[in-house]
Amino acid sequence: MSGEQTFAIDISRHAVSAFADAFARWASVHAIPETSVRAFQVVFDELLTNAIDYALQGKADALLQVVLRPDGQALDAWIIDNGPAFDPLHEAATPDLELSVEDRPIGGLGIHLVKSLMDCADYRRSEGRNLLHLSKRHAD
């Protein structure tokens, strides 16, 4: 199945919402199951917002892209940015889920959600860019 699509994301929180709408339309055209769409919506919101707020804010040549590739059985996505090298899967704090919400420090839950919602998540740095690959198989 073809249908690979690259989305350029502006460096603003409004752009995350606009991308969510564009992703939903793209997913509908490509018959991506609703469970996969919802999981990716949560993951994209977390990761794109973090990239905009922490890695790219104020960067004159900021680049933020999402590449989507459906294959009928799964959806693969790559989030690409040219911020400082940062592997969120290993460098972000791991939340202590045993603590109450009041006692838990801020941060880490978003990456926990990414790892929980995706079947595969891996990071690499190439040519001055962060490449975060995400994959989710469609439920039967």
User: In the prediction, which pLDDT does 108 show?
Assistant: 53
Spatial distance between the Cα atoms of 100 and 14, rounded to a whole number of angstroms: 32
pLDDT mean across residues, the chain? 89
**What domains are defined for the chain?**
5-137 (3.30.565.10)
User: In the prediction, which pLDDT does 99 show?
Assistant: 47
Q: What is the pLDDT of residues 50-108, one digit of tens each?
A: 999 999 988 999 999 999 999 989 999 999 999 999 999 887 555 555 545 555 445 55
Q: What is the pLDDT of residues 23-41, one digit of tens each?
A: 999 999 999 999 999 999 9
The answer, as to whether pTM is greater than 0.85, is: yes
Mean pLDDT over residues 9-35, rounded?
96
User: In the prediction, which pLDDT does 104 show?
Assistant: 46
User: In the prediction, which pLDDT does 94 show?
Assistant: 57
Residue among 112, 122, 73, 72 nearest 92 (CA): 112
User: In the prediction, which pLDDT does 10 show?
Assistant: 95
Sheet holding 129-137, edge to edge: 5-8, 64-70, 74-81, 129-137, 120-126
